[in-house]
Chains A and B, each alone.
Chain A
Amino acid sequence: MRDKYEVVIGLEIHAQLKTESKIFCSCSTRFGDEPNSNTCPVCLGLPGALPVLNRAVVEMSAHAALALNLTINQESIFSRKNYFYPDLPKGYQISQYDRPFSERGWVEIPTSERNESGHAIEWKMKRFRIHRLHIEEDAGKSLHEGMRESASKSYVDLNRSGVPLAEIVSEPDFRSSWEAYDYVQYLRRALQYTDVCDGNMEEGNLRCDANVSIMPRGAEKFGTKVELKNLNSFRFLQRALEYEIDRQIAAVESGERIIQETRLWNERDSKTYSMRSKEEAHDYRYFPEPDLPPLVVSETMIEHVRQSMPELPEARRRRLIEQYSLSPDDAAQLTDTRTMADFYEATARASANPKSAANWILNELVRELKNTGTDISASPVGAESLGAMIRKIDDQTISGKMAKDALIEMYKSGKSVDEVVSEMGGGQVSDEGAIREMARQVIASNPRQLEQYRSGKSTLLGFFVGQMMKASGGRANPQVVNRVIKEMLEGEGQQN
């Protein structure tokens, strides 16, 4: 059924800019404080109070805009979006309408459909256009439960009122839920790389609304769009889109007409519910905000921001593949956050073995970080330390097996690889004479196994290797052990 239809999705992302103070006053943007403690006449919308634009918001918006290849307008205008709601203290939200901060951007990123178990089927590069990014203030929060008299009252917390947001509106360029998913993931990463947004959907500092429609494959005119809200995680976003696509197809197939409306995703029921139809839609009566002059951004300032832009995640991913011969998957994982990518590249340098660095980080270190709930930026084993450890493997001072144990110990204690290895009784033993001597003893004390081996049970090689490792306290060089014991088991047999 899906094949008959083409899906059209557009996304509106609200990204909370991580400034210290609010967009139009000096109140703190800190999350989780006592309700209404971070407020003043301006963000409470008291009569007579006036907004003053926080320049840090402009700087961060410029970073975000450039990261998304948007053109920053030299002059943009703030407008009032008028509507009544208890958590909107002025009765209007200061936003941008006619002339937004920036327009006409794009990202070109890998995207893929997923199979039933959620694995990517085939990554392809695709360009998604971005219509605009504009600046606005957040509203407060209505609290309907959890307060003393919640049964009979609703409460309002205005700590969030006036927190700066960048609203990023895409073109309707997504043809599946996974494309939308990959785009939002990328957007989050780009905003984190440029250090302008924490990108946490669950905490609400990245919020997403979607416009969804379907049309018969090959049609030129888009179908009637439905707006989806309450998509509070990446998973919800993808699932809600899937549900909504199915719902629309089922409706059309049964001869119904799609009505333009806003629907809310309900995670518990895994369904979308109608919130309001177009007929009830707001007329926001936008008009230019007379309390704020036009926002003028100079070419010098844009240039300054351009200079301070970090390498963006997609560019970095491609470079990592190129420069370190990484697999696309590894490169994607290693560029998930800027700190991860920084950590990787520092380890690659320190170890002089980029491939191995990628493996150690992704297979071993990430597991330890996950188990202890630690961010890589706070990893007890630093990039230099991990690099030194990898060097020790490469110069055969320690074996890979030893290194695994050593890393766990280094992670626990914060000690260097040298300290840990010496505590383990020293580096690996590669001296052939010593290993031969050890082998002689192992063979001598296991005559029955020797007998069986020699009568053809060659799987017993593993047993002898194990005995060797045990006898050496894990320090014997496994390659040398393998070679020597095999040689002795077979060679001495021939002699006898």
Chain B
Amino acid sequence: MDKSEKQDNSGRKGRPVIGTSPPRMEAAAKVSGKAQYTDDLPFTHLLYGALVRSTIPHGRLRRIDSSAVEQLPGIVRVITGEDLLPHLADPYYGPAFRDRPVLTADRIRHVGEPLAVVVAESSRMARQGARQVQVDYQELPAVFDVMEAIRPDAPIIHDRIRPSGSFADLKNLLPREQSNIALHYKLRHGNIEEGFASADRIFEDVFSTAPVAAIPLELLVSVASTEASGKVNIWSATQCPLFVRSEVAHVLGVPEDQVRVHVPNLGGGFGNKIYVKLEILAAVLAGLLSQPVKLSLELDEHVHFVTSQAAPVLSLRTGVSKEGRILARECTIFWDCGAYAEIGPRIAQKSACVAAGPYDIPNVHIDSSLVYTNNIPGEAVRGFGVPDAVWPGEVQMDIIARAMGWDPLQFRKQNLLVEGKVHATGQTLDSTPLEKVLDSLSGRIGWSGSGSRQSQGRPGRRRGKGVALGLKPVLTPTESCALISMAADASVKLYTSTVEMGQGAHTCLRQMVAEALALPQEKVSVVGPDTDVTPFDQLSVGSRSTFHMGNAVLRAAEEIRKQLISHVSREWGVPGEALDLREGRVIHREEDSRAIPYSEVIRQIDPMPEGSLMGRGSYIPEYTSPDPETGQSERVAVFWFGGGSAVEIEVDPETGKVKILKLVTVGEVGKAINPVSVRTQLSGAAIMRLGHSLFEACRFDGGQMVNNTLSDYKVPTFLDVPQVMETEYIELKHPEGPFGAKGVGETGTFALSPAIANALYDAVGVWVKDLPLTPEKVLRAIRDLEAK
């Protein structure tokens, strides 16, 4: 921790607050147990719902028999998909395609699909009842493997696909009918045939990734309650309150002002709580029963909602010149969408576009297909598929370099996408200093460049080092709006729909307000998401909030500033440019003695003692939709952010076990608004990805997840965290970023998996191409090598 990272809560005396690390606003409430989460909120006459779920992966619902259950004590009602239909304007929901029924009335597409909900006076009674509901199925042939699902004779999972039209960036991507390919994204850059024809050597490799879970401490939970007027209130663990409002309104067929979404403290998000989860069902039930209804999931149910979307097949073909230039790269990806599209189309497009790596490659071809199967619907988990898309390319970089006798780091450097170079999408990169990330990684890990196996360390163990780099375009276009009010005593409220989920967003936004209005942070409070109160924000995901909401906040602050300055300018008869804000006062830049506190200015503007100033700000970046045939656009994203990992590992060649001795995570962040938050985002993301890289994987048998408890699905513990962990952030201000900031929440996940795989080769000479890198896979690879 350097000086600027010292935790500092003292009132600002004109010193900047940007670049300091005050403690989190919500920290005291959280550590003292006083913070309220959705599940803690008190309601009177609250009812509890428990879902009856499909035990088959594909079929038709013949009959649901709940007669015996309805006789049980405490059971209020059992409601089926059929019962819901008359109450829904649209029985289907989904952010990209409207393909997912609120409760299925007919077709079942995955194990765990909700079929009915048992509502009872207690959560226990509801769950007990749900277990006893009898379901009669007609099974249909199911398909779990993406390559089988795209065969012409495969069972078709969706007869018709309806785009939802919610996303500007997905308008050009149309689903395919009568096929399990939900979407096919194409990127065409240069001339791929010529590129390969001119190459001296061509490398081909196939990789895969596994679905993983994120497991926030707070699982999915929603409560809904209907007012006498019919207006519905929803309290929910969601990262997207505004999307929930519009989707609930759409499905219920009511105006959006009749839906109010509140978001209390969120116990972690990681992409698990995006778009709509339980809210629609809770809202319908509350309306039907005229009582508040809570739906909450146990872990085994939660993971049936939100495992990550994996890419079981990632094929890569790369042509290089003997001088070490990459001339052509062809990537073919098949994503396992699972039974419903959810966020899959966006992953298949936005994440796949980085599959050729952060390199200057003249000829690139990417085909990314999203394939429906009867697996659990895949979702975004921290990184939005980018860690999966980065994985094959960055391992193959080392495969190529080792085969050609080049230093893998040098090979990366000489092909790197430096400032001013054009990315395969057609966008020219700026404010993305990737070379500094590589330099920092190589310096901190002590890269020797020798490329030779390293055998120092404990006897019988082998050591190796690996480096990898990833790049992500931020989700674009998305919109953020903010409101700021300054009361007569110059205390300030920021109204924002950005969800504070442990990432420190509210603290960071407060710092921006304090800096912009030259006030101590204690003068600024934050009003969090409540859709009747806080203005529009698209969603709190994908490392976008600091940049987008930050810009909206600065624009809102600018309106306040203008009101203060223009009033004083008139009063004093001096031009506005001569005035500035400092330490809570409007001051004259030239004459130190001339200053007037904000509170006095406000009293002059508005003679009522309770008067206040309002500032509004909204931000939506420019965007050019990519050409549907080539994926080319000059402005795919408002900013790109790069991150890399370097590791030193020790391998036990007799067991295949990998121990990470040192882990370095470097991100380029534009400007660190709150350096401690930036570092903890980098290290937190890295530790999360460490589990995904080494041992985490959701395992399925006939579409049923078999390791759906924490006894069997293991996540890293403190004992799994490397003894030496270093993080570094590289600053190069982004011209459009608030104070130059970009985003950082996902950066630490991008490149860790390939860095470990590359270190593994350095240590023991094997390439393991499917994640996770379990000891068993490593040992098999070592044995295969020995057998050769």
A and B co-occur in one complex: no
Chain A positions within 8 Å of B, measured between CB atoms, are: none
